[in-house]
Structures are given as structure tokens and as C-alpha cells.
Amino acid sequence: MSNRLEKIEQILNEKKAENIEVIDLTSKDYIVDYVVIATTLNPKHAFALLNYLKTDLKPLGEEFLRIDDDDEWTIIDLGDVFIHLISEKYREKYSIEEFLSELENRVQ
């Protein structure tokens, strides 16, 4: 699992996503084991990040079960991992980290 998360984090980092966080929820009662959150620069950046993730992860056997996206927020469901690509405005407004902080053990 750590290799998968490292690869996701690497792609997001290389493609200029900001404030990337990986939250470990394996020991908590949540619908996925890990949540990755990254801030996007604008809607086109979010779209490009999604495409980079697909291009780089699908050949490694990663299955994209569902993708929900709009201009401010993209959620990628990999089964046991959710990736949130979110605008700075929405990240501040919805503060996912705060919601998950009651459940989390941060990955270092």
C-alpha cells in the first residue's frame, strides 16, 4: 500500500499540486483505508492532474472505480483510497482534514 500512496503523492507533487496530505484511516471505521487530499491551482489543473493519475496509475494495475468531478472538486475512488483534488477555496470551506481529524492517524 505504501508504494501506491507514494506513487500517487509523487505524481501530484511533480505536477504541482499543493498541500498534499495522506491520511491513514485503516484503524478507523471509515469507507476507505486512506484519503489523499491535494489543492489544485484552477479547474484546468485539476483536469490535468486527473489525467496524469490515470495515465501513470492504470498501467500499474490501478482501477478507477468512480470519478466525480466539477470545476472545484474532483473525487477519485480507487476502492480503498479516495483522492480529493480540490480548489483552495473549497478546501478551506469544507475542511475535509478537520472532518477526518477525529478519525485519523497521519501517515508520516
The count of domains in the chain is 1
Distance CA 11, CA 32 (A): 21
Tens of pLDDT, residue by residue over 3-22, are: 999 999 999 999 999 999 99
Tens of pLDDT, residue by residue over 31-51, are: 999 999 999 999 999 999 999
Task: Supply the CATH number for residue 12's domain.
Answer: 3.30.460.10
Entry pTM: 0.91
For residue 95, the enclosing domain spans: 2-106
Helix (H) and strand (E) counts for the chain? 4, 6
